[in-house]
Structure 1
Amino acid sequence: MEDGWWVRRAVLSVLLVVGIVTAVYAVVQVRSGSPDAEADDVAAPPTYAPSAEVSDGPLRLGEPLVAGRYGSPVDRPAGTMESFDIAMAAGVDHIEARVALTQDDVLVVRGDIELSTTTDVAEKAEFADRRTTKVVDGESRTGWFTDDFTLAELETLRAVEAEPDVRLDAAEYDGQLSVIGFDTLLERLVEVSQEQGRRIGLFVEPLEPAYFRSERTPIEGPLGQALRKARLTNDRERVTIESDDVSVLERLEVNLGDNVLTALVVNPGNPDLLTPAALEALPDTVDAVAVAIDSFLGQDAFALSDAVHAAGYALVVFPISFENDRLVSAFTEGPDPAGRGDLKGQVRALRLIGTDVILAEAPAEVIALNDELAAEEAASSAPAESPAEG
C-alpha cells in the first residue's frame, strides 16, 4: 500500500455514553479553558479539531458524512429498494447494505441470513419444507436461510418490518415491497448517481462469512464480482467493505485493491478492540473501525475518538435515529421505545467528539440537523461586526 495517509486511511465509529450531554460539555469547557464549568447555561462549544499530528485522509472531510443505513428504515422496511431510494433522494453521501449468499451463489440484500423476521417466507406454503435448523456462528438457529433459495425465489418474497413496535411507519408497508438482489441495488446506485450528478458511495457488509465458507462457498468472491461488474471498484474510496472478521477484510483487500476501503466492525461486548494499543496493532489491510454506540456506554467519548483518530482512522458511529430505542439515555424522552427523543442533541454530541461518518437510520432528519448545527457553529464562531463609525 502507498505511504502516508493513504496507507492508514480510515472510517467508522464513535460512541456515546450515559449522560453524554453533561460529560461532553464538561470536557469541552475544560479543553477550551472555560472558567465556569458548572454554569447552568452552557455556551455553544467549539467544533472538534483533529490533533495536529493526524493528517486528514479518506472520509475525514472536517464535516460528518451521512450514510443511509439499509436505506431509510424509519420510512420503509430496511433493505428494500424503496428504502434506499428515499435515502438517496434525501442526499446521503453513502448507502449501507448487508448482503447474503443465495443457493445460486449470488448476493441478496438482507439484514440477516435467516429470513423469517424480515420477510413473509413463513406464510409461503410452497417454501414450508425449506424450514430447517443450522449452526451459524456457533449458534443453533431454526428458520429459512438465504442459501436454501435461488435469487429468483427470494425475489418473490415480500419484506416485513423486523421491529414493528419501534418502526411504526415502516411496518405499514409489510408485505408490499420486494426483496432485491445486490446487483439490482448497485445498478440503481449508479443510475441515481448519474441522475443527481454526484457520486453516491457504498458501505457493504457480507453476512456470516465463516458460515458460507464452511457450508457453501466464500462470500468474498461473489461480492468482488458484483462490485467489479458495477465498475464501482474503479472509483477511489467509493466503496467501503465492513466486517468484524479481519481475515475477510484482508482477502477483499487483496482481491479488490487499494481503491476499496475496509472497515473493522466492533459490536457491543468488544470494547478492548478500541484501546490505543489494539488500534495501533490492527494490520495495514484495515482502513477503518465501525463501532456500535452501545459499545461505548460508560466510556470517555473524547478519549475514544482521539484514540481512533491518533491511530490514523476515521470515526464512524451507528445506528443513529430519532426513536428512544436508538438513542443513548441522555437523549431519550419518555419510556416509549418508539417515542421521539432528542435526535438533535445526539447529532450535536457526535459532531463534538469528531465523528467522520454517521450511519443513519433516519437519514433525511440527520442530514437536516447536521446542516443546521453546522450553520449554528459557523454563526457562533463568526467575528462580531464592528459598529459603524459615525
Structure 2
Amino acid sequence: MAKSTTTHARQAIGWLTLASTSLLLGACSMPGTRTNASLPTLDGRAPLVIAHRGASGYVPEETLEAYARAIELGADVIEMDLVSTKDGVLITRHDPNLAISTDVAKHPEFASRKKTIRVDGETQTGWFSNDFTLAEIRMLGAISTDAERPQQYNGLYKVPTFQEVIDLAKARSAQTGRTVAIYPETKNPSYFRALGLPMEDKLIAMINAAGWNSKTAPIYVQSFEPGSLKYMKSKGLNTRLIQLIDGDGVDMKTGTVTFANPSDRPYDWTQAGDKRLYNVMTTPAGLAEIKTYADGIGPWKRFIISTKGAIGADGKINDADATSIQATSLVADAHKAGLFVHPFTFRNESRRLAADYRGGAKNEYLAFYRAGVDGVFTDFPDTALEARALYLKETGR
C-alpha cells in the first residue's frame, strides 16, 4: 500500500527535477560548508533553507510526498511537527485537531468522535489524534490547509510516522550524496502529557536509535514550550535545541507585535501562572536565559522585520496593505548571546508580502538574509534557494 501510494504521488506531482544550477545553489549552504568569507550569520555560513512542513506550498503538508518534494527542490532541512496517536506513536501533523489537515470529516465511521475540547487554552471542535490509533490514522488522507494552494492532491497522501520521515531523510541523503537534516517540533507537549501521552522520551529514544544525538548530527529539535526543551536536555538530548517565539499579530500603526491566546506565551508558562509574554524572550536577558538550555531561537519573523499599514478595504489585515520597517536588533542580540536565528514563516502569496516587496517573495528573503538570519522556515524552498543565490552573488560569493 505504501509503495503504490508513493508511485501515485510521483505521477500526480511530476516530481520536479532541478537543473544542475539549482543543485549548485542547494549545495552552497549545506551544513558544514564554509563560504570564502564570513557572512553576518552566527557561524559565517550561508543561511539554511528549512522546508516548513515540507514543500507545503505545493503539496499537502507534513506528508512523505511533501518532504520528498522539498528535498528534490534542494532544501537543506525538512521541518515537521510531532503529535501523538492514542497508542503512543509520534506522527507528523501540525495540530492535534485532525479536522484542520486531513479528510477525517469525510469518514462516517469516525463521525461519533467529533468533539469540542480545550487545547492549550483554546476551544476547538474536531477530531483529535489522541482518539485515534495509528491504524485508524492510516485510513485518513492529508489535505491542503490553504485554499489558495493546489487542491488536486487532497486525500491522496497519508499521514506518516516520525520514523518514516527519519528513514526518508536518511535514504535521500544516501541517494543524493548530500546531507538532508530534519527539524522536529514537540507540538502541544503539555496537552499530550496531561493525557498520559508524553512525547519527549520517545523522541529522544528515536534520535538515539538514528545515531543522531549530537550537536553535529543532521537534526534540530524545537518547541514553543521551554519546559519541553529543558526536560529533553536534562534527559541527555545533545542535539541542537531551538526555542520558538510566537506572536499573534502586529499593531498596524506602530509595527509592534501583539499577543493573544494561544500565541501569547508558552502554555507551560500559563499552567505555572507565569504572566509574561513571548516578547520577554527577545530581550538580552531573555536571550541569555534561552542560551542556558538551547542553541538557537525560532522567532516569528515580525520580531525581526515588522510592518506598518492600514486595514484593507476588505476589513482584513493583510501584509499587502502594509510596508516593512527597519529591522530590530534581535538578530544581533541573539548572535551576541551565542544563539542562531531561524525566523518563520516565509510564503509566496501576495497577501502575505508587504507592499514594498512589490509582489516579489525573493525581496522579502533578501531583506532577512541581509539582516543576518541563520536560516528561514519556508513553504516554498525553491524560492528561498533562488533568493539565497542572489544574496550570495551580491555579497561576492
TM-score w.r.t. length of structure 2: 0.75
**Could you tell me how far 1:227 is from its partner in structure 2?**
2.1
CA contact (8 A) 1:204 1:242 kept: yes
Q: 1:363 aligns with which of 370, 373, 381?
A: 381
Which runs of 5 or more residues in structure 1 are unaligned?
Answer: 1-45, 51-55, 334-340, 380-390
Q: 1:294 aligns with which of 297, 302, 323?
A: 302
**Could you tell me how far 1:108 is from its partner in structure 2?**
0.9
Q: 2:175 aligns with which of 186, 190, 195?
A: 195
Quick check: 1:210 aligned with 2:190? Answer: yes
Structure 1's 255 and 72: CA in aligned 2 closer, same or farther, altered over 3 A? same
CA distance in 2, matches of 1:294, 1:267: 9
Q: 2:46 aligns with which of 54, 59, 63?
A: 63
CA distance in 1, matches of 2:94, 2:354: 23
CA distance in 1, matches of 2:89, 2:230: 21
Name the SS for the 2:202 alignment partner.
helix
CA contact (8 A) 1:265 1:289 kept: yes
CA distance in 2, matches of 1:264, 1:137: 18
Question: Which residue of structure 2 lines up, in the alignment, with residue 111 of structure 1?
Answer: 94
Structure 1's 196 and 214: CA in aligned 2 closer, same or farther, altered over 3 A? same
CA distance in 2, matches of 1:231, 1:89: 24
Question: Which residue of structure 2 lines up, in the alignment, with residue 317 of structure 1?
Answer: 343
The 10-residue stretch of structure 1 (208-217 or 221-230) with the greater mean CA deviation from structure 2: 221-230
CA distance in 1, matches of 2:207, 2:171: 15
Which runs of 5 or more residues in structure 2 are unaligned?
Answer: 1-36, 248-258, 260-277, 308-324
Name the SS for the 2:88 alignment partner.
coil
CA distance in 1, matches of 2:390, 2:326: 26
- Paired letter, 2:91: V
- Superposition pairs of residues 168-187 of structure 1, within 5 angstroms: 169=150, 171-187=151-167
- Superposition pairs of residues 150-165 of structure 1, within 5 angstroms: 150-164=133-147
CA distance in 1, matches of 2:236, 2:82: 17
Aligned length: 314
CA distance in 2, matches of 1:74, 1:283: 33
Q: 2:245 aligns with which of 266, 269, 275?
A: 266
Q: Residue by residue, what CA displacement relative to the aligned partner does 1:325-368 show, whole Å, maximum 9, x if unpaired?
A: 4334432x5xxxxxxx2112111111111011111110012112
Q: 1:49 aligns with which of 40, 55, 59?
A: 40
Q: Residue by residue, what CA displacement relative to the aligned partner does 1:7-44 show, whole Å, maximum 9, x if unpaired?
A: xxxxxxxxxxxxxxxxxxxxxxxxxxxxxxxxxxxxxx
Identity, in percent, stands at 27
- Superposition pairs of residues 122-133 of structure 1, within 5 angstroms: 122-133=105-116
**Could you tell me how far 1:373 is from its partner in structure 2?**
2.5
CA contact (8 A) 1:79 1:109 kept: yes
Structure 1's 70 and 280: CA in aligned 2 closer, same or farther, altered over 3 A? same
CA contact (8 A) 2:243 2:290 kept: no
Structure 1's 327 and 227: CA in aligned 2 closer, same or farther, altered over 3 A? farther
CA contact (8 A) 1:319 1:326 kept: no
The 10-residue stretch of structure 1 (99-108 or 236-245) with the greater mean CA deviation from structure 2: 236-245
CA distance in 2, matches of 1:204, 1:256: 17
CA distance in 2, matches of 1:317, 1:325: 19
Quick check: 1:77 aligned with 2:60? Answer: yes
CA contact (8 A) 1:67 1:93 kept: yes
**Could you tell me how far 1:197 is from its partner in structure 2?**
1.3
**Could you tell me how far 1:235 is from its partner in structure 2?**
7.0
**Could you tell me how far 1:230 is from its partner in structure 2?**
2.7
**Could you tell me how far 1:198 is from its partner in structure 2?**
2.0
Structure showing greater radius of gyration is 1
TM-score w.r.t. length of structure 1: 0.76
CA contact (8 A) 1:131 1:143 kept: yes
Question: Which residue of structure 2 lines up, in the alignment, with residue 139 of structure 1?
Answer: 122
Q: 2:286 aligns with which of 273, 278, 291?
A: 278
Q: Residue by residue, what CA displacement relative to the aligned partner does 1:252-304 show, whole Å, maximum 9, x if unpaired?
A: 1123432x011110001333321122212335111111011234425752512
- Paired letter, 1:323: E
- Paired letter, 1:277: A
Name the SS for the 2:302 alignment partner.
helix
CA distance in 2, matches of 1:275, 1:300: 17
- Paired letter, 1:172: Q
